[in-house]
Amino acid sequence: MARPALGASLEDGFNRRLIPLLRRRGWRPTTITYTGYGNTDALRVLARVLLKEDDDDAPAAADVGATGAELAEAEEAERGWRSFFTAPVAYLPVTVEIAGRNHAARADRGGYLDVLVQDHGLPPGWHDITIRARGARPVTARVLVVGQETTFGIISDIDDTVMVTRVPRPLVAAWNTFVRHTTARQPVPGMADLFRDVEALRSGTPVLYLSTGAWNVVPALERFFRRSDLPAGPMLMTDWGPTNTGWFRSGQEHKRTTLRRLLIDFPHVRWLLVGDDGQHDPEIYAELAREHPDRVVAVGIRQLTPSEHVLSHGTPQALDGGRDDHDGGRLAEGQLVPVVHGPDGHALWQKLRPHLGVAGR
C-alpha cells in the first residue's frame, strides 16, 4: 500500500518545489477550459489551472504582419509536447459564473476543476460560461445542456475510431503528444459523415467523446476535430499521473465508470456506442449493453487493418473476432443490442441504418 501513496507524494512534492521557481521566472496561473456538459438540473464544469509563461510581451499579429490564416497554420503546426511543459496549480480557488450567478469551487491536487453545479438556470443547447481562477485571467468555456426532449445520443472513442494513429498502442499517447504535429493526424474516413448522418436523422443528437488519452491533448484534438469536420462535443479524458490508490490510472476503468455516469446523468437518453476493435471497446460496450440493454440502441465497432492490429496489441486479428452479431445484449427477456463492424464510418453507417430506423438504402 505504500507504493501508490509514494507516487502521489512524489508528484505533489515535485510540483510544490517547481511552482515557486516558475513564479520567480514570471510564469502565472492560466486556465485551460474543457467542454462541459449536463442536463437542465446539473452542469459538469471542467477545466485545469496551470502555470505557464506569460506571453504579454509577445508581439501582436498586426505588429509582425501575420495574417489570420498564417497564425492559424502556425498554431496547427505546434508540436503537441508543448502542452505538457506546464505545472498544475493545486487547490486554487476558482469562481464559475453561469447565467450571471457565481459558484465557488476549488481545483484539486492536479489543478483540475471538475465541479457539478446544481440549478444552473441554463436552457438546453450550447452556452458560454466564465471561469475565474485566482491570479489568472477570466476565460470562457463552452458547455452543452441536454434537455429532456433529447432521447438519443452518441458516445465515441477517439484513437483508432475517429483518428488514425498507426503507431504501437503503448506509444500512441507519447507519439501524438510529444512527436507528431497536430496537422499530421488523419481522420478515419467516413466517421464525420456517420455522425452528421445520424444527426440529420435525429436532430439535436449530442456527441460525447470518451478516451483514455490525457487532458493535456484536448486543445490539439479540438483543432483536429474542427479541421476534420467532426462534430463538437465534450471530451472525457483522464489524468495520467499517480493517485492515492495507484501509480497509474486504469483506462478501462475510466471508460466503464464514465459510461455508467452518463447513464445516470441522462436517464432519458439511449446511446449509440462507437469504438474500435484494437483494444477493449467491444468488451466494455458489451458489458454495458448486457447490464442496460434498454439504454443502448446499437454498438458500432471500427475494424482495424491487420497492420493496425499488430501495432495495437501484437496480433493481426481483432481481439473479439470482428464478426457482426447480437452479443452485446444477450440477456434475459430476449432483449438484444445489435453490434455491427466495419472498416470505416461509411461501412458502419450502412450497417447501422436498419437499427436506427432507416429503411432501404
Task: Please report the domains of the chain, with CATH numbers, ordered by start residue.
Answer: 2-19+28-53+68-143 (2.60.40.10), 152-356 (3.40.50.1000)
298, 324 contact by CB (below 8 A): no
pTM greater than the 0.85 cutoff: no
**pLDDT > 50? residue 69:** no
Give the N- to C-terminal CA distance of the chain in Å, as an integer.
58
Average pLDDT over the chain, rounded to an integer: 79
In terms of Cβ atoms closer than 10 Å to its own Cβ (0-12, 13-18, 19+), residue 257 is exposed
pLDDT of residue 332: 37
Q: Round to whole Å and give the CA distance between 281 and 245.
A: 24
pLDDT digits (tens, 9 = 90+) for 150-204: 999 999 999 899 998 765 555 555 555 555 555 567 899 999 999 999 999 999 9
- More reliable by pLDDT, 264 or 316: 264
- pLDDT-based confidence at 324, cuts 50/70/90? low
pLDDT of residue 166: 60
- Cell 493526424 sits at which residue? 185
**pLDDT > 70? residue 129:** yes
DSSP string, 102-167: EEEEE--TTSEEEEEEES--PPSEEEEEEEEETTS--EEEEEEE--TT--EEEEE--BTTTEE--S
Q: Round to whole Å and give the CA distance between 152 and 203.
A: 9
**pLDDT > 90? residue 33:** yes
Give me the count of residues in the chain. 361
Q: Which three cell numbers stand for residue 274?
A: 462507437
Q: Round to whole Å and give the CA distance between 215 and 169.
A: 18
Q: What's the count of helices (H) and strands (E) in the chain, helices before strands?
A: 10, 16
pLDDT of residue 214: 85
Residue 334 one-letter amino acid: G
